[in-house]
Amino acid sequence: MSNFRDPTMPLQFVYTNQDLVTDVCRISKNSPGMASPPAKFDTTIQAGWTHRMERGLFRYHLGDLQTRILPGSHSYVAQLNIQRGVERRKPQEILSIQQEFNAKQFNFNKINPEEIIFEMTKDTERGTALQYDGQVHQPCRMVVLVNVSPLEFGHCLFVPDPSRCLPQVLTRFAIQVGIESVLLSSDPGFRMGFNSLGAFASVNHLHLHGYYLDKELKIESMPAKPLVPERGFYRLLDFPAGFLFYTESAEVEKVSTAICEVTDFLVDGNIAHNLFLTRGCPPCDRTQSEKNLYWRKGVRIAVWPRLSCFGAKEESAFNVALCELAGHLPFKNKKDYDLTTEKDVIDIIQRYLLPDREFHRLEQQLTRHLMDL
């Protein structure tokens, strides 16, 4: 058989449940361990991303970013990325959380095809289709392309079948493949996330973000209170107020369904939201034990309902979107990067969160909703 591959056809990345990595451990000063060997998923993304950076397909060259940990209990990871603030494509005007897809605006069917690293499909026993609740759904591809305005190394966009022209509203497929992508990586620094419309999504065409951040975030081990634990649903017990799902490889389909029920509820209620997916500890309502603190066998999915933000309104220091809520702060100018304190960060983020009374009412509604289904 010939090894020739048509250069006009994207690389195909086919995976199975056997490719999901379960034995990831975060190495610390107190608990040195063997780093996991790079998974095929990581080497494919990183090589493809680096090759396209070298070829000049990005809006700017991204080198090592200046990084500092802000003093304080939250250990916020601040990074200086001036070029992203200057060079990135102007965000689309978003007027509604349920805004329809508009083919006349920029979308991922209009990109340079060379920006595509690969197309992901899952090979199951019944062929390349995903299953939800035991039912087999039609095959669907996830197109992985470079973000030409990267915020960190390996920053890609994960776009479910771009030709379907889906608006920026999460689907079970997008959530499941997002979780499985984190599990396909052997690097605890690989993160994924989602911004809804009204929560600083800049393009109304369904996509998730994926990137590498080689710093530990508090969200990986933050205490959480069980709400409907049999469905993987918890409430975060630290700032910023939000919800948490947790799954290991065996429960991905079940937890993906529950997450989608929550995000559908938020969309129906016109509540903007951000999600952040990362390797993390199993949820616990107190500080993690030394034994569990560094294990990263599963994925934590944080869901933050928040106040909607429409139009071109921007913070001078940083926008409050998926990575900022998780504790990763890309700054757009040197002064803010140098001078911003933990208290400043909390004050900015607080302005975008739901009022306490509204959040607790939503918590009760979502708990009942998940228990009834």
Catalytic annotation on 207?
yes
pLDDT at 3: 44
User: What kind and span of H or E run contains 139?
Assistant: none
pLDDT at residue 130, rounded to an integer = 54
CA–CA distances in Å: residue 297 to residues 18, 20, 168, 194, 294: 14, 10, 29, 22, 9
Can you tell me whether residue 114 is helix, strand or coil?
helix
What distance in Å separates the CA atoms of residue 247 and residue 254, rounded to the nearest whole number?
9
Measured CA to CA, the distance from residue 358 to residue 360 in angstroms comes to: 6
Residue 19, helix vs strand vs coil: helix
Q: Of the ranges 9-13, 64-68, 169-173, which one carries the lowest mean pLDDT score?
A: 9-13
pTM tops 0.85, yes or no: yes
Give the per-residue pLDDT at 290. Answer: 62
Helix (H, G, I), strand (E, B) or coil at 200: coil
User: Alpha carbon 78 to chain centroid distance?
Assistant: 18
Q: Is the peptide bond between 240 and the residue preceding it cis, with omega within 30 degrees of 0?
A: yes
Please tell me the predicted confidence (pLDDT) of residue 91: 77
- Residues 103 and 276: beta-carbon distance below 8 Å: no
Band (pLDDT 50/70/90 cuts) for residue 170 is very high
Write down the pLDDT at residue 289.
62
Three-state SS annotation for 304-363: EEECCCCCCCCCCCCCCCHHHHCCEEEECCHHHHHHCCHHHHHHHHHCCECCHHHHHHHH
Q: How far is CA 77 from the centre of its chain?
A: 16
Partnered with residue 226 across adjacent β-strands are 234
pLDDT digit string, tens, across residues 273-284: 999 999 999 998
Kindly name the residue from 74, 155, 205, 207 that is annotated as catalytic.
207
The CA angle 239-158-201, to the nearest 5 degrees, is: 50
pLDDT in tens, 95-118: 899 999 999 999 999 999 999 999
Indicate whether 30 pLDDT > 80: no
Q: Would you place residue 137 in the very low, low, confident or very high pLDDT band (cuts 50, 70, 90)?
A: low
The reported pLDDT for the residue numbered 129 is: 52
